[in-house]
Amino acid sequence: MRIVPGRDGERARQVKVEVVADDRGGGVAEVRLYRNGKLMADDGAQSRQEETNGGVRLIKEYAIDLQAGPNVLAATALNTDKVESAPQLLTLEAPGVPEAGRLHFLTVGINAYRHTALNLAYARPDAVSVHAFLAGDTQWPVADAIQKLDDAATRANILDVLHQLRAAPAEDVVVVYMAGHGISIGSEWYYIPHTRSKDRSPPPRWRRRRCRHRN
């Protein structure tokens, strides 16, 4: 990792972090940067590739506003088989007292689909149980506790909440739990919301899938 410190004033806490990954024979499919154990969003990150004697070099540049206290950065690269490398670590200190983190979570569970052939028995109760467990967590003060069940779990509603959760401060924890059907397209998995059109029969690869994600 290469670090370019911010200049002055309010930007003094901002650094530019350049993560460089060289192809060692397995290809370079993706570069990731974690801060204090949390994956940094790619929004605004700039990527470029360079040709080297050994193959391809992938470079990604992040602009990061440092949190008060220690900022432990961990950079990794994934090869074309999605195997993640060991992290390269760097710690940057910023003045001030670290703020206490809060918990934001979304739980989604769909038993009753618009397309009734997809109906399930346990997705909704699973989501309700996880929601109750997270709401009772005493380690983190709860800032957002959002639940979408059955016909409330539309694509638009889920995306609205995810957009809201993206605004959570970096020191906070975000948990997203989804129980229901999913579909795989190539190497990607997609969650199926309540409102899939009922005039189309479900693809043969549909299956129940639970997803948990920490940001």
Question: How do the domains of the chain map onto residue ranges?
Answer: 2-94, 103-214
pLDDT in tens, 95-132: 888 878 899 999 999 999 998 999 999 999 999 999 99
Q: Which CATH class is domain 2-94?
A: mainly beta
- Cβ contact 71:13 at 8 Å: no
- Cβ contact 153:112 at 8 Å: no
Please give the pLDDT value at position 196: 60
**Contacts for 130-139: CB closer than 8 Å, 24+ residues apart:** 130/177, 130/179, 131/105, 131/107, 131/177, 134/103, 134/105, 134/107, 134/175, 137/103
Residue 9 has pLDDT above 60, yes or no: no
Please give the pLDDT value at position 12: 57
Please give the pLDDT value at position 213: 43
Please give the pLDDT value at position 205: 42
Average pLDDT over residues 41-64: 84
* DSSP 8-state assignment for residue 27: -
Query: Among residues of the chain, what percentage have pLDDT more than 70?
Result: 85
Average pLDDT over residues 174-178: 95
Q: Which three-class secondary structure state does DSSP give residue 129? A: helix
